[in-house]
A and B are shown apart, each in its own frame.
Chain A
Amino acid sequence: MFATYQKGDSLLHRIDARTKLLLTAGTGILVYLADPLGLWMLSIVAFLLIRVAGIPASSLVKGLRPMAVFFALIFLTHLLMQGSGVVAAAIPVARFVLLILFTTVLLHTTSQSELKTALVSLMKPLGGFGRELAFMVGVAMALIPGLMRDKETIERAQTARGCKPAGLRGFVALIVPLLRRSFRRADELSDALESRCYHRDREYYYYGGALAGRDYLLLAGFAAVLVLIL
């Protein structure tokens, strides 16, 4: 749904994943709390970040398009049910769009392993549980593209058989093979992971490293902004 990671050498690529993760979470809070003026300012920030990260417009569109119906629903609900004006109805939509854009920036500039390593390190206070949670998130993220591809392949195969992907029958024709495949894939993947010596106490170090002065500066600056606004 969102942009996938693209290796690059932009400033944003070089910032530590932990910092980016925290900043994105913090920005999420800002997006949720901001008034219209704040949203404008955040939009400018989002625009600048997208430019710095070098994300092409096409992949932004690709990320936002599947959500279009959802946006329309939110907009209409606010406009018709709650009787807000057009501008007021657009605000919640803007919040969602901004959230997606900021997340896209994070995912575009941070690889899964960096994210995983960052999660592990941020969840260190939680002990072994934090590590496993981080690993589960990582594996789930790795499985999603495969699931999407499976769904597409199965839809195509059933279409080719003359079975249209509509109605209950179409749903059964999709879901039965999809579940079978997913379970089998999960089985096979766990065999492969175990064969490659996965164990609970594994450590993450290749993508890690100490936070740089830059990271502390960014985090401190952002915390200051957050405190000022709140």
Chain B
Amino acid sequence: MIELANISFSYPERPVLRDVNLCIRSGEYLGVTGDNGSGKTTLVKLLNGLLLPREGRIIVNGASTSDRESLLAIRRSVGIVFQNPDAQAVGETVEEDIVFGLENIRVPASEIDRRIERYLGMLGITELRDRNIGLLSGGQKQLVNIAAVMAMEPACIVFDEALSMLDADNRRNVLLRISDLNMRGTSIIQITHNPEDLGNCHKVIAISEGRISQQGLVGGVNEGTGGKGGMGGMALPNNPAISDDLLDSCHSSIRVIRDKIGIKKSRMMTNDANCTNVRTRSHHPNIRVFSPKFPIVPEGKRGGEFRDHRTDPRSGVFREGGGIEIWHLSHTYNPGTEWAVPALRDVSLVIGKGGITGIVGGIGSGKSTLACLIAGLDTPTSGSIAIDGRSPEPGGNVKILFQHPEEFFFERTVREAVSFGLSKAGLPEDAVEERVLSAIDEVGLDRSILGESPFQLSSGEQRLAAFAISIAMKPGYVILDEPTAGLDQRSRKRVLDAIRRMTDGEGAGGIVTVIYISHRIREVLGIVDRIVVLDAGNLTFDGTNGMYRDQV
């Protein structure tokens, strides 16, 4: 249904796509992978005429995208879900957002009602229908965007890294629904960095430097045949040692009951393989709460650094070694108003110095809330936090890097960006330079980029530069919120290596304790020493990496 013949596209400063030939048949499920900046998103925008090729033709259902008259018909048959959940919604409420697209294609009002119900139900977000979109979490917004595009019932749906915001439960459900649509004849184009999103593809192509570098068939669910070519260094998910989905389905079913002080070992849960799907009060309708399935986890011990957090941290036991002590922490946004959202409930936790602690959980689990509280950016509704025995304060000994930290650059050069905080702290010039250099070395960037504008770097390098800004300040603790979000496999590896170097105590930052926040459990398990699981604001698991693997 879509045919690209000899397509080239370039921006004034650089060529993006070169001589691309591609044919997407009706009912096909195509996967597209490729590094950041390889031209994937440009390809997407060419498919429905948002961009027009410099050379070549794109024919959708017999009509060319460069023919203005047929543009609307083309867009009606090729729906796109984009990556950024915040920049796709037009309506104020979820319902209005879905109505927008349906009014555009003149679906009758009664049919609009039917489709809203159908597609919200399909994605498990029926309850969100009348909610204000601005107050939803990123993942929830993205589910709404997916529902809005699906409701238009296009012949082909393109997902441009659209699932990266979703936690594993929702991602699995969305992938299932996409598969259903595909079975019933909808063509799907899935663009992703995540090999696990490609499981159902009939064919996968890799784009590299503007060309289709590899094409291959996938031995997926739908087709038993077909070999799996080595896709640009990407492991295809035929048999991963640990699957994200598998792990995550287990981690939502771990529900360790804690009493007020800590963990009671005596209460053993039945080790039944069937998790009973009991819905308890969860404020996030799409997060299922399972009854416990695993035995209670004893307190973690790791190289003497792991402290017994059953004891009251205020007893003074932890003072000498320092660390982050969190005591009966609860937090509610907009308390006492109609918008009140409880985000954390009675979380107690001690994070000793050194090592990498992972905080994982699904959409709306309270991960980011916890991070902001530790960094001193918010004051908790109740409970307390101590950083080396002192209250957290913004800009203090805990540095936090939000998702996509490179978006906050405002300096002209990388050197200015990294030295900004240091000069402000009143360090002499040579000391500033020394710290800048060692921070750049430590994150694994080349010193030659110091004179460049931070906006000219590749997305992976930008991320590393943001890291350098933080560790140049020699903080005791660094909180990284989804540090690999939006990066391709190669950049991701560089980032993870940099994080490991931060904690080894030999580089610029001295010993840095890293708190690694993510919804990608597999990636977290690959790097952390200890893992903390949050579920709907409750702490449901706290133990070493090994213990987590054992339990699951």
Contacts and interface: CB of A to CB of B under 8 A. Distances in A.
A199 B104 contact: yes
B54 to A, nearest CB: 19
B469 A161 contact: yes
Interface string B422-435: 00110000000000
B92 A180 contact: no
Interface stretch (B178-186, B212-220, B393-401, B524-532): B393-401
Nearest to B41: A191
A139 interface: yes
Interface string A151-178: 0011011111111100000001100110
A146 B134 contact: yes
A82 interface: no
B88 A189 contact: yes
A59 B337 contact: yes
Contact of A185 (B86, B103, B410, B424): B86
Nearest to A206: B99
Interface residues of A, number: 54
Nearest to B86: A146
Contacts of A111: 92-93, 96
B130 A7 contact: yes
B439 interface: no
Interface in B94-148: 96, 99-106, 109, 112, 130, 132, 134, 145, 148
B79 interface: yes
Given A195-B80, A203-B103, A188 B87 contact: yes
B69 to A, nearest CB: 12
Contacts of A149: 134
Nearest to A141: B92
A159 B377 contact: yes
B337 A189 contact: no
A229 interface: no
Contact of A191 (B45, B152, B424): B45
Contacts of A146: 86-87, 134
B92 A4 contact: yes
A24 interface: no
Contact of A157 (B86, B408, B473): B408
B104 to A, nearest CB: 4
A145 B132 CA distance: 11
B337 A112 contact: no
B421 interface: yes
Interface string A180-206: 110011001101111111110011111
B338 A191 contact: no
B375 interface: yes
Contact of B152 (A113, A158, A197): A197
Interface in A66-86: none
Nearest to B89: A142
A173 B103 contact: no
Contacts of B102: 206
A162 B86 contact: no
A10 interface: no
Nearest to B47: A195
Contacts of B337: 56, 58-59, 62
A113 B93 CA distance: 9
Contacts of A202: 103-104
A5 interface: yes
Contacts of A185: 84, 86-87
A4 B104 contact: no
A4 to B, nearest CB: 6
B109 A192 contact: no
Contact of B106 (A56, A163, A203): A203
Contacts of B67: none
Interface string B385-411: 000000000110001101001011110
B152 A4 contact: no
A188 B400 contact: no
Contacts of A141: 92
Given A7-B130, A138-B90, A154-B408, A58 B336 contact: yes
A189 B90 CA distance: 8
Given A111-B93, A142-B90, A194-B75, A156 B377 contact: yes
A207 interface: yes
Contacts of B402: 153, 156-157, 160
A181 B148 CA distance: 24
Contacts of B408: 154, 157-158, 161, 173, 177
B548 interface: no
Contacts of B93: 5, 7, 111, 113
Contacts of B84: 185, 188
Given A197-B152, A198-B104, A203-B106, A180 B134 contact: no
A61 B186 CA distance: 50
B101 A196 contact: yes
A175 to B, nearest CB: 8
A167 to B, nearest CB: 11
15 contacts: A111-B93, A158-B408, A159-B395, A161-B408, A161-B469, A162-B425, A172-B410, A192-B82, A192-B87, A195-B82, A196-B90, A197-B72, A197-B105, A202-B103, A203-B103
Given A5-B92, A160-B400, 4 more contacts: A113-B91, A191-B50, A194-B75, A206-B112
Interface of A: 4-7, 56, 58-59, 62, 111-113, 138-139, 141-142, 145-146, 149, 153-154, 156-164, 172-173, 176-177, 180-181, 184-185, 188-189, 191-199, 202-207
Closest 10 CB pairs of A and B: A188-B87, A176-B410, A162-B395, A112-B92, A196-B101, A192-B88, A197-B104, A145-B134, A113-B96, A7-B130
Interface of B: 45, 48, 50, 72, 75-76, 78-80, 82, 84, 86-93, 96, 99-106, 109, 112, 130, 132, 134, 145, 148-149, 152, 336-338, 372, 375, 377, 394-395, 399-400, 402, 405, 407-410, 420-421, 424-425, 469-470, 473
